[in-house]
Amino acid sequence: MEVTREEFEDLVAEALDTIPPDLTDLMRNVVVLVEDLAPEPGLLGLYEGVPLTERGDTYAGYLPDRITLYRRPLQAICRTRDDLVKEVRTTVVHEIAHHFGIDDERLHELGW
């Protein structure tokens, strides 16, 4: 399933809009980006930064955390636009969870 970069970015924005405002209001110093290719095979998204649960009194002057979604790998695993919408949302939620300090093991326990 292929969409233009602009369409993909719109899907990411729509996925972000599904996150409850109570959670997005808590997100601090984080940017969401789209890249075409992942740095390693099989990677759909990546969180880079200091999770909120690990920020202390000395957290200052850091560059924004980065949540990156990889367009081509996400498209490659999807057959339909509905599949792509679902995978983008799942990846957005997964990476935001990392921003909140939730690791992969816990996400899998929660069904993500």
Q: How far apart are CA 31 and CA 109, in angstroms?
A: 26
Q: How far apart are CA 92 and CA 106, in angstroms?
A: 16
Tens of pLDDT, residues 1-21: 899 999 999 999 999 999 999
Tens of pLDDT, residues 8-67: 999 999 999 999 999 999 998 999 999 999 999 999 999 999 999 999 888 888 899 999
pTM exceeds 0.85, yes or no: yes
User: 44 and 73 in contact (C-beta within 8 Å)?
Assistant: yes
